[in-house]
Amino acid sequence: MVAAVSSSTLSNATSAAGQTSAQEQSDRFMKLLVAQLNNQDPLNPMDNAEMTSQMAQINTVSGIQTLNESVKSLSDQFTSMQLLQATSMIGREVLTPGNAVSVHSGVGKGALSLPANADKVTVQVRSPSGQLLDTIELGAKATGRHSFEWNASGYTGSGAPTFSVSASNGGKAVSATTLRRDTITGVDNAANGVSLALRSGGTAPHSSIQAIL
């Protein structure tokens, strides 16, 4: 007589749920359960509670697999929506975290964010090696994001300049956040999400966009 299939055998089949479809898992459990019923000891048959427990395992595995497939479907749809949205932004300027000055046609661009009003905001532009190239006085700025431009016609360096921001209000320092201002030239559905190609070189994840100008 074929040995009875134990509950542990049924449980072991659960571990393969991620590798097969919900229907395959359900069929596997049903075959194991039928085999167990056919080969059980007539003098010690499976009680109703044990059968109910094993049936619940079938429903649990099927439910989890169905949920996983639903979540994956939603994730795929979300990625497609992100890609479509990103495609519509090609040619638009965006703000992303960073302190690189984007240089194009002799004009350098950057941006900053202020958490409070400032009566004095100063931007210092430096070469990749740290040499001071220019100082830009922006004057008073209110809370929020602000862009600036720098005359880069005389810049002959090979790398992208960087910038730092100092801001104060009534002599007290105001913490400023630097932002990269660049133009989107293309999009790519990368393994870790939608990626944006930038005109000045490099890429930025779609999730890093803080503003569209």
Which neighbouring-strand residues pair with 147?
Answer: 111
Instruction: Name the one residue in this structure whose structure tokens are 């002799």.
Output: 106
The phi and psi torsions of 55 (rounded to 5 degrees) equal -65, -35
- 94's CB contacts (< 8 A; 6+ apart) are 181, 182, 183, 184, 196, 204, 209, 210, 211, 212, 213
Domain contains 13: yes
Three-class SS of residue 112? strand
pLDDT value at residue 3: 40
pLDDT value at residue 15: 47
The phi and psi torsions of 187 (rounded to 5 degrees) equal -135, 155
Distance CA 120, CA 142 (A): 10
Whether the predicted model's global pTM rises above the 0.95 cut: no
Domain contains 25: yes
CATH of the domain at 164: 2.60.40.4070
Residues of the chain with pLDDT under 70: 1-23, 25-26, 29, 33, 37, 40-52, 54-55, 57-59, 61-63, 67, 73-80, 82
Domain contains 35: yes
Domain contains 149: yes
Residues 108 and 167 in one domain: yes
Three-class SS of residue 25? helix
pLDDT value at residue 131: 95
Domain contains 211: no
203 in Cβ contact with 196 (< 8 Å): yes
Distance CA 26, CA 17 (A): 10
pLDDT value at residue 32: 73
Domain residues for the domain of 32 are: 7-77
Q: Pick from 77, 106, 125: which residue ends a domain?
A: 77
pLDDT value at residue 121: 98
Domain contains 197: no
pLDDT value at residue 165: 98
Residues 109 and 146 in one domain: yes
Distance CA 199, CA 183 (A): 5
